[in-house]
Amino acid sequence: MLAFFLGAGASVECGMPLVWPFTATFRENVLKRIDTNLFNFSDSEEIKQRFVEIIGNNDFHYEQMVSELEIWKLSTAGKEQQTVDGLIKQTTECIQILLLELQEKCQSRMRLRFDDYFGLKSIIKQHGSLDIYSLNHDLIVEELCTFYEIPLKDGFYSDREHGYSRLGDFKVVSKAEFQQRDLGFFGKNESGVNLIKLHGSFDIFAIEDMGRYLKSVGDGEFGSYVRSVRNIESLSLEECQESENRGVNELFITDDFGELQFLRRSLLSGGHKFSDKFEQIAPRELFEEFKARITSVRELVVIGYGFGDEHVNVVFCDWLKIPDTKLIICDPYRTEVPDFLSGNASQIEIRNVGFTDLLLSFDPEGDTEEKKQKRMLLNHLESLSKSEIENLTSLLKGRS
């Protein structure tokens, strides 16, 4: 059985950022708003200054910043601990909002890249179903399956009443179904993509004290998954403006019965994921589902993952103990097996390719000269510096 495992690098060709470039954007946006009401320092200049030092530390990427805040919270008590807990939630909220904005901005680039992702259809044709385990919060896989009309299941059920139709279409899973592993996925004899998002997602929300989870869905048109999330966020903003109230990392919305409800965002960040020391909205059971399903996989293709999550690395180590398993690491720049996997080097293959070239390898006959030329042009344009792009834009304007 073949399966994919996606890290941030799998989305970079579609315009989503890697860790350090996003960190620079995140740091800039947070620090310039430090004196607004975005963050609550409980009128403590000492807490504010320490927070600024953490966010301003150029040695930390954004997840390490959250981890530092978590360590700070664990080391204190009382009102200070409550304040730092709030800062963790406020910081996580900023991460989600910025990433969603970047997802919206990369729609046109994503559409261009999808023209070269036809290999996914060949994989489904050959293997029937494909498990994709993803650490990413973005909606690229959902949009890709819509683009190629590939059936997609993500554990959630679409045939449920939920009471939020005024916000859009949703799929639903109850907490009990998560706990019983009674989830909606394709079986061995069915065809389609099984997507399991391990660290939360823009479109997954907890409701009713985490008794149920909603996952918004698109309408079958390209970009509709992203638009559906933005619609929910916009409706929440309207509600907050009218009521002059807002929550942290949760949306205020009115359900179909006119009652005020709260949708809790699920993005998971920091250095203590799946730890009992911190509240987690992203369903823990999806990680357990990943651990259970991977035991049936014999070839796991890892794309764009830097092996920085210990809870994931432990699963890989245990999986490689299963006979006849093979780990394929796709990374344009990697030359060596990660140190913690050195004892399994004979089971590991490194391919210096990104997501585009990986998918092309599953259907090389489908690649035309026209596609190759367009891809070369796109790659060249993406390699240009900001000043080179400005010069090119000026030149084109002069010819118009």
Helix (H, G, I), strand (E, B) or coil at 119: helix
3-state secondary structure of 371: helix
- β-pair type (299-303, 2-6): parallel
Share of residues in the chain with pLDDT > 70 (%): 99
pLDDT tens profile 323-333? 999 999 999 99
Confidence of residue 3 (pLDDT cuts 50, 70, 90): very high
Mean pLDDT of 108-123: 96
pLDDT in tens, 347-394: 999 999 999 999 999 999 999 999 999 888 888 888 888 787 778 777
Q: Report which residue type is found at 304.
A: G
Which residues, including other chains, have CB under 8 Å from residue 94's CB and lie 6 or more apart? 26, 29, 30, 38
| CA 244 distance to own-chain centroid | 30
Neighbours of 391 (CB within 10 A): 12
For residue 174, the cross-strand partners are 212
Look up residue 12 and give its two tokens. 């970079």
Report yes or no: 298 and 1 within 8 Å, Cβ to Cβ: yes
| Contact criterion met (CB below 8 Å) for 317 and 348 | no
Tokens of 208: 């009713």
Residue 400: which pLDDT band, with cuts at 50, 70 and 90? low
pTM of the model: 0.94
Tokens of 385: 């510096």
Give tens-digit pLDDT for 125-168: 999 999 999 999 999 999 999 999 999 999 999 988 999 999 99
Q: Using alpha carbons only, what angle is made at residue 6 by residues 306 and 187, rounded to the nearest 5 degrees?
A: 145
Residues 182-240: pLDDT tens digits? 999 998 889 999 999 999 999 999 999 899 999 999 998 999 999 999 999 999 999 99
**In which band, very low, low, confident or very high, does the pLDDT at 271 lie, cut at 50, 70 and 90?**
confident
Report the first-to-last Cα separation within the chain, whole angstroms. 54
pLDDT at 398 over 80: no
pLDDT score, position 255: 94
As a whole number, mean pLDDT of residues 51-71 equals 97
With a cut of 80, say whether residue 12 has pLDDT above it: yes
Share of the chain above pLDDT 90, in %: 84
pLDDT band per the 50, 70, 90 thresholds, residue 340 = very high
Quick one: tokens of 364? 């090389």
Question: DSSP string covering 220-271, please?
Answer: SSTTHHHHHHHHHHHHHHHHHHHHT---SSEEEEE-TTS-EEEEEE----SS
Query: What's the CA gap between 354 and 361, in Å, rounded?
Result: 11
User: Which secondary structure element, helix H or strand E, spans residue 32, and what is its range?
Assistant: none
Strands of the chain, DSSP E: 2-6, 129-134, 152-153, 170-174, 192-197, 204-207, 212-216, 250-254, 260-265, 299-303, 326-330, 348-351
Are 155 and 216 contacting, i.e. CB atoms less than 8 angstroms apart?
Answer: no
3-state helix, strand, coil in the chain (%, to 5): 50, 15, 35
> Any residues with CB less than 8 A from the CB of 392 and at least 6 apart, and which?
384
3-state DSSP assignment of residue 327? strand
Token pair belonging to 96: 């989600």
Whether residue 243 is predicted with pLDDT greater than 90 in this model: the reply is: no
Q: What is the pLDDT of residue 277?
A: 84
Q: Are 14 and 106 in contact (CB under 8 A)?
A: yes
Residue 208 phi, psi dihedral angles, 5° rounding = 55, 55
Write the DSSP assignment of 278-302 as a string of letters: S---S-HHHHHHHHHHGGG-SEEEE
Within 10 angstroms of residue 129's Cβ, the number of other Cβ atoms is 21
Residue 320 has pLDDT above 80, yes or no: yes
How confident is the model over 23-48, as pLDDT tens digits? 999 999 999 999 988 899 999 999 99
Model confidence at 399, in pLDDT bands (50, 70, 90)?
low
Give pLDDT tens digits for 44-55: 999 999 999 999
How many Å apart are CA 228 and CA 219, to the nearest integer? Answer: 9
